[in-house]
Amino acid sequence: MRFTRNHGVVLALVLVMIGTVTFLISWSGNDKNIARDLKQEPEVSVYNNETGQITKMPLEEYVAAVVAGEMFPDWPKEAYAAQAIFVRSFTMDFIASGGVKDKYGADVSTSIEETQAFNPQAVTAQIKEAVQTTRGQVMTYDNRFVRAWFHAYSGGTTARAKEGLDYKEQEPPFTKSVTLPENKHVPEEVKQWVAEYSAAELRPLLAKVGVNVGEIQNITIVERGPSKRVTKIEVSGAQGNAQVSGPQFRLAVDSTKMKSTLVEDFVFTNGSLRITGTGYGHGVGLSQWDAYMLAKEGKSPTEIVETFFQGIKIRKIYD
């Protein structure tokens, strides 16, 4: 068949259609966390872990309740606004991944272990105003919602996900480790803390994460990450040795007691473990007390957000 100009036009149109179909499949198929412009504010279903009830509410109402649960009263508005962007981004990414639908039939829960802190009773006029100033704004990378991790205090240096969270997937391209200046606003019990445990106390706690070595005889740090956080710990006992990641160890022994893996001293002697360290939380993403400091220094919510992640774009997905 002779290839005419009309045939060329038809072929071009077919190729465009094929390309369009492929684009649509990619856009709405496997890439569930792609950030789309929405015609209106989405609604979120919230499972209350205390009552077992599911409540539906506008996303902005949920964001305000989480900001109130995650931050203290009377903080600078810019810190609240930056936190709101993180909360909104985390929530949209979490829902895109399925939320807690399989467990409760809802998008999110009120459990801080499962999703984020939630305290609607603590929402103030200032928090409402701060959330409103960033209404609809989320962080994106490559046009996808950013998994917006945050924690209480970095200890002066944040971590990337594999180090701070023992993240099993490929390191996200938007995470970074950033060193921050001395923060005079941080409470002393967060800036410097001590945690002590007896071997008898540790044995059942560590057994929950698969460390069963019998009577514990020694515990040592065997690996640290780039930000000096503990990434691997070895436990020796009468029945052998076992290794556990730093983040997993911290969660097992109570993360409110061993406040972070940014450890200074880690000494096991006479049947007891004494840990000293700084920081509070996993250390990845937004450091809330450092956001407080940056807000006090006059930084905008956007500048605060961009301090903790790289290559991200703040995008408004609904009015």
Beta strands 144-145 and 108-109 are: unpaired
Contacts (Cβ under 8 Å, ≥6 apart) of 51 = none
Q: Give the confidence band of 256 by pLDDT, cuts at 50, 70, 90.
A: very high
Q: Among residues 38, 45, 41, 81, which one has the least CA distance to residue 292?
A: 81
Q: Stretch 131-154: mean pLDDT, rounded?
A: 96
pLDDT at residue number 214: 96
Q: Give the confidence band of 118 by pLDDT, cuts at 50, 70, 90.
A: very high
Percent of the chain topping pLDDT 70: 91
| pLDDT, tens digit, 9 for 90 and up, residues 183-217 | 999 999 999 999 999 999 999 999 999 999 999 99
pLDDT at residue number 31: 73
Mean pLDDT of the chain: 90
| pLDDT, tens digit, 9 for 90 and up, residues 1-53 | 333 333 333 333 332 333 333 333 332 334 788 999 999 999 999 999 999 99
Q: Left (φ > 0), alpha (ψ -120 to 50) or beta: where does 123 sit?
A: beta
pLDDT at residue number 21: 33
> Does residue 159 register a pLDDT over 70?
yes
pLDDT at residue number 18: 30
Lowest-confidence range among 1-10, 112-121, 230-239? 1-10
Lowest-confidence range among 6-15, 66-75, 224-233? 6-15
pLDDT at residue number 32: 81
| pLDDT, tens digit, 9 for 90 and up, residues 85-95 | 999 999 999 99
pLDDT at residue number 2: 32
Contact indicator for 265, 245 with CB cutoff of 8 Å: no
How far apart are alpha carbons 179 and 227 in whole angstroms? Answer: 9
pLDDT at residue number 65: 98
SS3 for the chain, per residue? CCCCHHHHHHHHHHHHHHHHHHHHHHHHCCCCCECCCCCCCCEEEEECCCCCCEEEEEHHHHHHHHHHHHCCCCCCHHHHHHHHHHHHHHHHHHHHCCCEHHHHCECEECCCCCCCCCCHHHCCHHHHHHHHHCCCEEEEECCEECCCCEECECCCECECHHHHHCCCCCCCCCECCCECCCCCCCCHHHHCEEEEEEHHHHHHHHHCCCCCCCCEEEEEEEEECCCCCEEEEEEEECCEEEEEEHHHHHHHCCCCCCCCCCEEEEEEECCEEEEEECCECCCECEEHHHHHHHHHCCCCHHHHHHHHECCCEEEECCC
pLDDT at residue number 72: 93
Percent of the chain topping pLDDT 90: 89
Domain residue ranges of the chain, discontinuous segments joined by +: 43-148+285-316, 188-277
Lowest-confidence range among 16-20, 120-124, 139-143, 309-313? 16-20
| pLDDT, tens digit, 9 for 90 and up, residues 261-313 | 999 999 999 999 999 999 999 999 999 999 999 999 999 999 999 999 999 99
